[in-house]
Chains A and B, each alone.
Chain A
Amino acid sequence: MPTPAQLEAQVDATAALIGLPLAAAHRPGVLHYFAIAAAMAELVLAQPLTPDDEPAALFVPVEPPRS
């Protein structure tokens, strides 16, 4: 599990990268929820997967409108 400092660094760096301002009043909540997401990611990353385990989200081709 990443340390609180690592999580904080990720939050600040990514927010700056994508141009998402984090107000001082919002930042503690953001850190709280980012830490929860990190804990969820630990669970997800612990699952052994094979190449057959394709992502569940698959693209559906879009046909042109029929005239």
Chain B
Amino acid sequence: MSRAAELLRGPGHLLSAAVRAHELSVTDVVHAAAERIAATDGRVNAFTQLTLQRAFGEAAALDARLAVGDTTAAALPLLGVPYAVKNLFDIEGVTTVAGSKIERGRPAAQRDAVLVQRLRAAGAVLLGALNMDEYAYGFTTENTHDGACHNPHDLARVAGGSSGGSAAAVAAGQVAMTLGSDTNGSIRVPSSLCGVFGLKPTFGRLPRRGSFPFVANLDHLGPFARSARDLALAYDAMQGADAADPACVARPFEPTVARLGEVHGLRVGVLGGWFHDMALPEARAAVNAVAAALGATRTIEWPGVERARAAAFLITQAESSALHLANLKIRPDDFEPLSRDRFLAGALLPAVWVSQAQRVRRWFARQVAAGFADVDLLIAPATPCAAPPIGTGWLDIGGLRLPARPSLGLLAQPVSCIGLPVCTVPVWGAHPALPIGVQLIAAPWREDRVLAAAAALEAGGIVRAPVAALD
């Protein structure tokens, strides 16, 4: 195995360090990533489009700068880090399909999404676009048009969704980092099922310009990686307001990398009630391991969690159906069969259901905000269970028989409903063979706290994201 291939199995920041130390070139890194993708993606199906020509071009440009002693290039925070993006992000010269058949006829994007521009400026190298649930409506990435994305740790199981390709590509060691979106859990669910780190920032933190929307009132974008430091490096590189995104709040730059691992004095609690009752034993065991490591001393119950989840459900159905109404009328059979009927139903909701859902959302946010007066970090399972087999129709959770696909997000949905920052961390050993994720949740704009705690857990060996063997 080449040095680059060996380093590709570790975190991105070590790859960057090796490039800075002239142990290898960025071009070597791209070769290693391309070879790993070629060797594994026939089984994983994480990628829907490769951008190798672009990747080698970006690598050559960085190598040329390094060769002449360009210290600015050498200092780039993501120097030579290979990454890929969910195929709802605009990539210049590539049609943004958002997991659909319908969008394939659209012209190619004329420029990169804002976050892709920012990662490129930080020295990262783009390898391609990734599989997802159509229009981000799903939690399993069983995409009928592109084929199911397979969990690298057990190919017979789902990768989670809707950013399934984003989590699977990182777990498979194809790239060090990816971007995805999270409306109701679409970063946290696949992070949990594939055993990688994922960051869903505060709603309104990162600009969404140049990404295909799902539910404008709930959409977040964020990174996946195999270490908390990589998440923080990517997140810091992507911060910054964008007036073109009406939801993006003009916050100052609030760096997180320097505070990784600083958890002394953090007041930590475990979310009970809904988050305990709707979790299977492996999810509870994972929470217990993280809670013990962080010294969580109490259990906290949020009021009205099930109502908040219901509010997010209704807002999602109504807004996403309105977005796709024209195509639902004229070409419903071109939609993903697994989500088409949900879209159709969503177009028919009485307005008062949705208006009241937006008021419940505000009510819930106020209740939770008051609770953060005496706690800094909350712990909850990211999914009710570890990855189910592809094709699973039903799950038994909390004494109920529930439809599997929407229910994988039932512990993530109440949190994104009110836009709190969450880092999902991967726990091994809670399930006999599979990873499962735990949500680290903080008050709005405190991404520093969730990343600091994730780094502390990683340093303590409580959480880790090994590359799947796939050999």
Contacts and interface: CB of A to CB of B under 8 A. Distances in A.
Interface string A48-67: 01000111110010100000
B356 A30 contact: no
A9 to B, nearest CB: 11
A31 B342 CA distance: 9
* Chain A binding surface SS class: helix
Interface string B341-353: 1101111111001
B246 A44 contact: no
Contacts of A33: 317, 341-342, 344-346
A43 interface: yes
* Chain B binding surface SS class: helix
Interface residues of A, number: 35
B332 interface: yes
A41 B346 CA distance: 12
A67 B381 CA distance: 50
Interface in B93-118: none
B188 to A, nearest CB: 20
Contacts of B246: 60, 62
Interface string B303-343: 01011001101110100000001001100110000001110
B342 A20 contact: no
Contacts of A54: 359, 362
A44 B325 CA distance: 24
Contacts of A32: 341, 345
A21 B348 CA distance: 12
A40 B316 CA distance: 12
A63 B263 CA distance: 42
B276 interface: no
A51 to B, nearest CB: 10
B362 A45 contact: no
A56 B217 contact: yes
A5 interface: no
Contact of B345 (A34, A41, A44, A55): A34
Contacts of B363: 47, 49, 53
B217 A26 contact: no
B332 A37 contact: no
B453 interface: no
Given A20-B329, A49-B360, A57-B217, A10 B344 contact: no
A29 B341 contact: yes
Contacts of B361: 55-56
A18 interface: yes
Contacts of A21: 329, 332
Contacts of B315: 57
A23 B332 contact: yes
Nearest to A17: B348
B227 to A, nearest CB: 34
Nearest to A34: B345
Given A23-B332, A49-B363, A53-B359, A41 B353 contact: yes
B358 interface: yes
Given A49-B360, A55-B358, A56-B217, A43 B310 contact: yes
Contacts of A26: 332, 340-341, 344
Contact of B358 (A30, A37, A57): A57
Contact of B329 (A19, A39, A53): A19
A43 B52 CA distance: 49
A10 B360 CA distance: 24
B365 interface: yes
A3 interface: no
A36 B357 CA distance: 15
Contacts of B344: 20, 22, 26, 29-30, 33
A21 B340 CA distance: 13
Contact of A44 (B332, B333, B348, B360): B360
10 contacts: A18-B348, A19-B329, A29-B340, A29-B342, A33-B342, A34-B345, A37-B345, A40-B353, A55-B359, A56-B361
Given A33-B342, A56-B217, A56-B359, 11 more contacts: A18-B348, A26-B332, A33-B317, A33-B346, A37-B314, A37-B346, A41-B357, A43-B307, A44-B310, A47-B360, A49-B356
Instruction: Report, nearest first, the 6 A-B pairs whose CB atoms are least far apart.
Output: A29-B341, A55-B358, A33-B345, A40-B310, A56-B361, A43-B310
